[in-house]
Amino acid sequence: FPGLTDVSISEDIPVEGQITVPVGSHSPDEEFSTLDEPVRDTIMRDLKAVGKKFVHVMYPKKSSALLRDWDLWGPLVLCVSLALMLQGGSADSKDDGGPQFAEVFVIIWFGAVVITLNSKLLGGTISFFQSLCVLGYCVMPLTVAMLVCRLVLLAGSGTISFIIRLIVVLAMFGWSTLASTAFLADSQPPNRKALVVYPIFLFYFVISWMILTFTPQ
């Protein structure tokens, strides 16, 4: 470059400054490596994330935290506990009893996958695992209902206990459906919302039916 041979910087003017370009958002994870932290911190961080999502399900507001940082720990814990609590149903013969562990597991996960595929095929913008995450976490009210039902059944299994169980299961079913709809409905095209909400309704209805018809031995 012939024109630059004359350029020189005077030595009185100090040349200093930062070469690095400041990044807009500094997320705390990038400041330090998580490889060296104690195991307790790692586990507590994940547990806090799961707990925060449970709180979001209990008070369903339109927040994107549930969608953004999806995880499947919560759904797994809920599904396993629900399937375990549905065990021990009565059966005259092997064929007539309630659902087995594998059947509950398959219904919940396969049902959630099918509903997610359905909403994506209809043109939804939500990602696959985000939808699985929401549907799994919204099973929480029904798990609470199962717990209440088992406690009520310990006290007795007459008509009054059935009415209590019916009311509890109906209320939790409504809560689950409303919570999941609140999170999922926004990502659907507006003229197909009902087509996406109906399978969710059917899914939670089937789970509620399994909970309501549970009879202990």
Partner 1 sequence: IAHLAMYLFAEFDDAANLLAANPDATTVSIDETVEIPKNQHSRLQEPGREEDDELLGTDDSDKTELLAGQKKSAPFWTFDYYQTFFDVDTYQVLDRIKGSVFPVPGKNFVRLYIRSNPDLYGPFWICATLVFTIAVSGNLSNFFIHLGKPTYHYVPEFRKVSIAATTIYAYAWLVPLALWGFLMWRNSKVMNIVSYSFLEIVCVYGYSLFIYIPTAILWIIPQEVVRWVLMIFSLCLSGSVLVMTFWPAVRDDNRRVALVTVGTIVLLHALLSVGCLAYFFDAPEVDVPAPIIPAQNGTVITKSQ
CA–CA distance, 216 with 89 (Å, rounded to integer): 5
CA–CA distance, 45 with 174 (Å, rounded to integer): 31
Q: Does 171 bind partner 1 (CB under 8 A)?
A: no
Q: How many residues bind partner 1 (CB under 8 A)?
A: 30
Encoded tokens for 176: 């689950």
Q: Does 99 bind partner 1 (CB under 8 A)?
A: yes
Whether the CB-CB separation of 71 and 51 falls below 8 Å is answered with no
Q: Does 97 bind partner 1 (CB under 8 A)?
A: yes
x/- mask, partner 1, residues 62-91, rule CB under 8 A, reads: ---------------------------xxx
Question: Which one-letter DSSP state was computed for residue 56?
Answer: H
Among 55, 76, 205, 216, binds partner 1 (CB under 8 A): 205
Q: Does 193 bind partner 1 (CB under 8 A)?
A: yes
Q: Does 170 bind partner 1 (CB under 8 A)?
A: no
Among 29, 32, 92, 159, binds partner 1 (CB under 8 A): 92
Among 43, 65, 192, 216, binds partner 1 (CB under 8 A): 192
Q: At what angle do helices 140-155 and 193-212 cross, to 10 degrees?
A: 20
Among 22, 95, 102, 159, binds partner 1 (CB under 8 A): 95
Residues 113-142 that bind partner 1 (CB under 8 A): 118, 120-123
For partner 1, the binding residues (CB under 8 A) are: 89-92, 95-99, 103, 118, 120-123, 191-195, 198-199, 202, 205-206, 209-210, 213-215
